[in-house]
Homo-oligomer: A and B are copies of this chain.
Amino acid sequence: MTDLLIRNLRPMGAAPTDMLIRGGRIDAVSSGIDAPGVPVEDAKGAIAIPGLVEAHTHLDKTLMGMGWYENAVGTDLRAMIDNERAERRRLNHDPFRQSMRHALALAGNGITHIRSHVDVDTENDLAAIEGVIQTREALRDIVEIEIVAFPQSGLMIRPGTAELLDQALALGADLIGGLDPCNIDHDPKGHLDTIFGLAEKHGKGIDIHLHEGGTLGAFSTELILERTRALGMKGKVAISHAFCLGMEDWNRVEALLAALADQDVAILTTGAPSSAVPAVKRVLGAGLRMGAGCDGVLDTWNPWNRPDMLDRARIVAQKNNMRSDADLAVALAVCSTGGAAVMDVVGHGVETGCNADLALITGLTLAEAIAAGGPVALTVKGGRITGRNGKPVMEAP
């Protein structure tokens, strides 16, 4: 079913109207549409926004449905990485089942597109990639999933990883990832040369985790820019977290933003409350594409994150001290059209001709919907209803 008539919705919070969807696209938006034979849904005055986009997460990490994970790891990045690799085995973690649970939880709550980093390492090989590819296939009509082959445990320090990343891309990963070229591998040139080389070989994009703050992160960013220019990869590279763009040195950040805009490098944020982060309005003002994500959910890393982009819009707004209704609309846009722009989704909107990928959220205004915090009333993907009241229509394994 990809035809649907939704009555009494408010596009972006405007006056109530009807929306006719035909063949998975928005065919008409006006009052009193008549479409015999087309299934009808009453939106009850909910606000229609373009589908929410979870643009930075880890579908292969969640322990959803496996009981509460008592975290005794602490906050050291390497310790967290080593702990997770060991726990995957101890807990007999099934990446297909777990990524299905996570992706469906997202689909049930307004999300129509997901970019997921997926671990590749020399202990677990390609098991996680294969599991998430299986989920991507199983959910093809429910939610679009982009897979980033991600060397979570390091690249140069773990020989054999580059070959596995190569295989992951051949298997169908959509992008290649990277991780703190200085802090993890202690070899930024080797790390970035390998990643950009694989991207070039496979003709795929890049999305690099960069937690490195201050001048170290700025250095890594400059190495990323250098390679982006050299390989003509303008518009094909994204940096996740990019904490260094939250550093105090105004001039340095301005220069980085200008260089990133010149190469159309996109930024993904989680609005991490405990870190300096890129300021949303500053990044957007510099002309960069910017999306947001909840990061890993219910995994060995942290106990806070939820598979919920309205919750994330609130966190991003809080972190950026965005208080007015106008500012909250910007935070929400980052969580929807912003992420879509990073994922190169075309036609992500609520106007005639756009894809019928929608989230119907409850509130008088967009800001009230964020303040109230969901659940999302209805998720629509390609005209198909995929979520109701925050729950997926399809049952998770």
Q: Residues of A with Cβ closer than 8 Å to B? A: 67-68, 70-75, 271, 273-274, 298, 301-304, 306, 314-315, 317-321, 323-326, 328, 363-365, 367-368, 370-371, 373
Contact = CB atoms under 8 A, between A and B. Distances in A.
A75 B323 contact: yes
Nearest to A326: B72
Given A303-B371, A364-B67, A365-B68, A74 B273 contact: no
Given A68-B364, A363-B68, A274 B73 contact: no
A72 B322 CA distance: 11
Oligomeric state, in number of copies? 2
Contacts of A317: 303-304
Nearest to A275: B321
B321 A303 contact: no
B72 A325 contact: yes
A325 B371 contact: no
Given A274-B319, A319-B274, A304 B371 contact: yes
A273 B320 CA distance: 8
A303 B71 contact: no
Contacts of A364: 67-68
Ranked 4 nearest A-B pairs via Cβ: A274-B321, A273-B273, A273-B318, A303-B371
A335 B306 CA distance: 21
Given A68-B363, A75-B321, A363-B68, A304 B298 contact: no
Given A303-B370, A304-B323, A304-B371, 9 more contacts: A68-B364, A68-B367, A75-B321, A273-B319, A274-B319, A301-B323, A303-B323, A303-B328, A304-B370
A263 to B, nearest CB: 29
A74 B324 contact: yes
Contacts of A302: 323
Given A318-B273, A319-B274, A367 B325 contact: no
Given A70-B325, A74-B324, A324-B72, A318 B274 contact: yes
A389 B330 CA distance: 33
A74 B319 CA distance: 15
